[in-house]
Structure 1
Amino acid sequence: MKEHSRRLNAHYDALAERGEGSLTCRLREAYRVAGRDPDRLTLDEIAGIDQLHLGGRGASRSLAALGEWQPGSRVLDVGCGTGGASRLLADEFGCEVLGVDITAAFVDVATWLSAATGLGDKTRFLCADAARTPLPDAAFETIWCQHALMNMPDVAGVLAEWRRLLVPGGRVLLHEVVAGDNPEPLALPVPWASTPAESHLQTRETLESRLAEAGFRLEALEDVTEAALAWRQKHSRREGGEPPAGPALPGPVAIFGERFLTMGRNLRDNLAAGRVRILEGAWHRLE
């Protein structure tokens, strides 16, 4: 798994790999340039960098509508990235959230952004392999995962870990990229992969089968590809338009560099061509 971790860190933190400084330092400076205090930020000010999945905060709220939330609900956010969904669940639903991600730079950024937005007491972050976490059994009521399984080669191991970590009857909320019906190779790079070695897309049928085999029962599942494509088309038009007159708040380009413009266009084209699809669903852990 060391090679897997190296590949993902090289993809998600490519600018640091090229010697351009740590992701946290770059983003803090970008906020200073935009006239903001990087230690005192609002959730709206960080919206461009805190939810790196199709649909942004709207997609997270849609997935959250499938949840059964109580104040203090214990949630594990798998593949948390920069921590946006963790903060949304803490802020809007009163959850206690632990985010886990294999990319150390994202964990550092997530920790900083939670402190800067006043949510450091309700969100914590851990750098670990999702298939092998150092967490105790039955520690969570909900597993939350958005656009992360497609980066994980050992899906069976990850799902077994989810079952171990959930209380009996606990729930999995999943918003995931899967392989579409079009067998053509992906247009690369995309936000989750620069080369085929980083992309581990499953078909919908395979994903459903693996969850069932791992001891999870399906509650609800919807194909939300059309909404995701519309969102990506809108953002591609915005990204290809005139640059703002003054310093703008940081967005994905501040994380990935200018190559994100190509990633976004390729993702749009892959969605439109049916090479990938987007699913939103809920499962519960069988006793």
Structure 2
Amino acid sequence: MTSDESKADSPREAALNEHYGVTDLGDEILAALEAAGKDVDALTRDDIASFDEFHIRGREATREVADLAAVEANSRVLDIGCGIGGPARTLASEFGCDVVGIDIVEEYCRAATLFTDRVGLTDEVRFQRGNALDLPFEDETFDVVWFEHTLLNVEATEAAVEEAGRVCRPGGTLALYEIYAGPRGEPVFPVPWASDASLSHLDPPERLREIVLGRGFDEIAWRDVTGPSLEWFRNVVESMRSRPADAPPPLGLNLLMGSETPVKAANVVRNLEEDRIAVVQGVYERVS
């Protein structure tokens, strides 16, 4: 869910790492998996599916966006704001892609590499620390550039899309799965991507489309998925509320969001219900 700023020691980068970067995250998750009875030396993607993709509707949504974008086998994909690598592993394992993931959060990159190795996808997926505003790649390197709940932490959406266009080959694809600003006020915080407004940067839908279309892309698809997103998060909140107080911690997004998970999840539901935020999937072709 992250990627921003171009200077390694910028205050904003430090703030994003503080918000997302649980110390020794990979080891903490491995310990939770082992406590839940998983064989951490023989993990499968199904073993980590409940927390692997840090965005609304998880792996199901990644598959939807890949299908909407008609992602082809052997495509070279750049996943900007890759988190702990779940979408990249889905694109590699299920769609036959060669994927590079970048994230501003160092602990995410470490955990992404760890779990990719554990599930046997090291040859197909690689990760490195990087940011949306200064991509460390040559022009026209990728067939697909992928944003999944990433732009919500980026102040300069224009610059991020400009960079995406630079590294995307002509005729290539820009795939978006993003939260955008709703018409009825600012979000209620905290939410998964920000504890307060300082890290939350949501564009209105018309502004997001204008930015992309103004930077060498044609729109192929734009699909509002707020309804299923709200239903999914309501189920998440209900599951947490109905969990017995003495039950062990679940293997879920709490592993990434920590003790504030119930509050953050409830606030996402409220924000969706009150039209403070909405969710979209978009696909664009680079034409110039």
TM-score relative to the length of structure 1: 0.94
Superposed CA RMSD in Å reads 1.5
CA–CA distance in 2 between the matches of 1:244 and 1:112? 32
Residues 1-287 of structure 1 correspond to what in structure 2 (within 5 A)? 1=5, 2-13=10-21, 15-16=22-23, 22-183=24-185, 185-243=186-244, 247=248, 250-287=251-288
CA–CA distance in 2 between the matches of 1:203 and 1:34? 41
CA contact (8 A) 1:48 1:249 kept: no
Shift of 1:38: 2.4
1:36 match: secondary structure:
coil
CA–CA distance in 1 between the matches of 2:59 and 2:257? 19
Shift of 1:241: 1.3
CA contact (8 A) 2:180 2:203 kept: yes
CA–CA distance in 2 between the matches of 1:244 and 1:37? 26
CA–CA distance in 2 between the matches of 1:246 and 1:272? 29
Change (3 A) 1:245 1:42: farther
Change (3 A) 1:256 1:69: closer
CA–CA distance in 2 between the matches of 1:195 and 1:179? 15
CA contact (8 A) 2:80 2:131 kept: no
What amino acid is aligned across from residue 60 of structure 1 in structure 2?
Answer: T
Instruction: Note the residue ranges of structure 1 that are not aligned, 5 or more in a row.
Output: 17-21
CA contact (8 A) 1:34 1:248 kept: no
Matched residue pairs, number?
Answer: 280
CA–CA distance in 2 between the matches of 1:197 and 1:248? 30
Shift of 1:37: 2.8
CA–CA distance in 2 between the matches of 1:59 and 1:270? 20
1:169 match: secondary structure:
strand
CA–CA distance in 2 between the matches of 1:179 and 1:67? 23
Shift of 1:130: 1.3
Shift of 1:137: 1.2
CA–CA distance in 2 between the matches of 1:92 and 1:269? 33
Shift of 1:53: 0.5
CA contact (8 A) 1:31 1:249 kept: no
CA–CA distance in 2 between the matches of 1:110 and 1:244? 31
Identify the range of structure 1 (221-230 vs 25-34) with the bigger mean alpha-carbon deviation.
25-34
Percent of aligned pairs with the same amino acid: 35
Change (3 A) 1:148 1:11: same
What are the Cα deviations for residues 157-176 of structure 1, in whole angstroms up to 9, with x where unaligned?
11111111011011111111
CA contact (8 A) 2:81 2:131 kept: no
What are the Cα deviations for residues 105-156 of structure 1, in whole angstroms up to 9, with x where unaligned?
1111111111111111111111111110211111100011111101011211
Shift of 1:70: 2.9
Change (3 A) 1:120 1:248: farther
Shift of 1:69: 3.0
TM-score relative to the length of structure 2: 0.93
2:178 match: secondary structure:
strand
Instruction: Note the residue ranges of structure 2 that are not aligned, 5 or more in a row.
Output: none
What amino acid is aligned across from residue 167 of structure 1 in structure 2?
Answer: R
Change (3 A) 1:124 1:116: same
What are the Cα deviations for residues 223-264 of structure 1, in whole angstroms up to 9, with x where unaligned?
110110001001110011124976566211122212011100
